[in-house]
Amino acid sequence: MTRRLVVPGALALTVVLGISACVGTPSQPKSQPSLYSRLGGKPAITAVVDDFVANVAADTRINERFAKANIPRLKSMLVDQLCEATGGPCTYTGKSMAEAHKGMNIREAEFDALVEDLVKSLDKLGVRPQEKSELLSALGAMKPQVVGQ
């Protein structure tokens, strides 16, 4: 018997956008523009989120988790969190990673599928290797706060 957990937008919202706690790059020179600027600002982040959410919706490994999600709200929250996390002017008002995933028992394979969907979007939209690496490193650092909670 498969246990079905449907949490409206919680997984994507907090997994992908919870990177706000980890995006900082202390070794980055002060003169280098923010990751937000290097990504192309809010329009570029919005494009990544739009493509990413479409990838998740088409991904049978994880799309059931989002079956009842409010997609416009999910996208808006994801954009705000990525914008803030990368040094942009937005304010993310969602839950922390640990709080959002408490009791969800997310499997490592589900986390990995979500990351794969994000990588697919980053690659499709031509995000440069350094910026892509910063985002993915931050996401990887969030894994213990998400998987198995």
How many domains, in total, are found in the chain? Answer: 1
26 assigned to some structural domain:
no
Which pLDDT score, from 0 to 100, does residue 29 have? 54
Structural domain span for residue 66: 10-19+33-146
Q: pTM for the full model?
A: 0.78
125 assigned to some structural domain:
yes
What CATH number corresponds to the domain at position 46?
A: 1.10.490.10
Integer CA distances (angstroms), 57 to 49, 63, 103, 133, in order:
12, 5, 23, 24
DSSP letters for 123-143: HHTT--HHHHHHHHHHHHHHH
28 assigned to some structural domain:
no
Integer CA distances (angstroms), 63 to 5, 86, 131, in order:
11, 26, 26
Which pLDDT score, from 0 to 100, does residue 138 have? 74
53 assigned to some structural domain:
yes
Q: Which of 3, 4, 1, 7 is nearest to 101 (CA)?
A: 7
Which pLDDT score, from 0 to 100, does residue 28 have? 52
25 assigned to some structural domain:
no
Which pLDDT score, from 0 to 100, does residue 141 have? 80
Mean pLDDT by 10 residues, the chain (149 residues): 37 42 49 92 96 97 91 92 90 88 90 95 97 86 86
120 assigned to some structural domain:
yes
3 assigned to some structural domain:
no
102 assigned to some structural domain:
yes
